[in-house]
Every structure is written in C-alpha cells, then in structure tokens.
Amino acid sequence: MSETIRVFVADDQSIVRNGVLALLATKPDIQVIGEAANGQDAVVGVIALRPDVILMDLVMPEMDGIAAIHAIVAQWPAARILVLTSFATDDKVLSAGWRSGSGTNNPSCIMEATRQDSANNRCLRGRREE
C-alpha cells in the first residue's frame, strides 16, 4: 500500500495508548496524527483532523467512547471507527451501535483491521446499525 493511513487513537489508559502508538509507529504505511485520553478530546481532535481511521476505547472519562462515537458520527457520518475494548460481553459494543462482531487482542489483526477499515473493507465480522 503506497498511501499513508492517518490514524487517531483515543484511550484513557496511557499504557494502552502508548502501546498502540508504539505498535503503529512500526508500520511505514500508518501515521498517527492525533491522540486523546478522554472522549471529549477525542471528538474535538477527530473532527478537527479528519483521520482515515479512529481507534476508540469505550470506557473513558469526561465522555465515554460510546458517546464520543455517536458525537463523531453525528458530525461526520463517514468516520471510520475501530473499537478498542477489554470487555468480553457484547453490551458495551452493542450500545456503541454495532450488532454482532468479533474481537481480538492480536496486534497483527489490529493492524490489518486498521488497513481494511481505511480502505472501506471489513476485517472483523459485524455490521453497523443505521
């Protein structure tokens, strides 16, 4: 892939956010253009920067990831968002607007999902409710 994928990362846990940033930094086709430690800052940053892909945690202070996703999509319906979560149950993901789906903690799949999402394809199963 010759085009750079511009990514925004939102996670309140600095160790997780920094780990994701470090992983993304190893890939020449991915450029992190912004980051946030809470949902409020994520909405502001995403709307201002318009990244190709947003990696969004669901549980954050000030505004959780679910509310941030809804706020982003309300202002920018074409936003491409991958949810980062440690929840094993579907209720958090469902309230973010997704039906069904599968997750992973495998860095390779996260990287592939980022590339696929930026290309408007699907790496992970699931469909977004309209």
**Model pLDDT for residues 75-102, shown as the tens digit of each residue:** 998 898 888 776 555 555 555 554 333 4
Q: How many residues does the chain have?
A: 130
CA-to-CA distance for 124 and 117, rounded, in angstroms? 9
Q: Which residues touch 8 (CB under 8 Å, ≥6 apart)?
A: 32, 33, 34, 35, 36, 42, 45, 46, 49, 51, 53, 54, 55
Using one digit for the tens of pLDDT, what is the confidence trace for 41-76? 999 999 999 999 999 998 899 999 889 999 999 999
The answer to whether 108 and 116 are in contact (CB under 8 A) is no
Distance from first CA to last CA of the chain, Å, rounded? 30
Cβ 32 vs Cβ 9: under 8 Å: yes
pTM for this one? 0.75
* From the candidate CATH numbers 3.50.30.10, 3.90.1170.50, 3.10.20.310, 3.40.50.2300, the one assigned to the domain spanning 5-128: 3.40.50.2300
For the CA atoms of 112, 113, 119, 120, the dihedral, rounded to the nearest 10 degrees, stands at 160
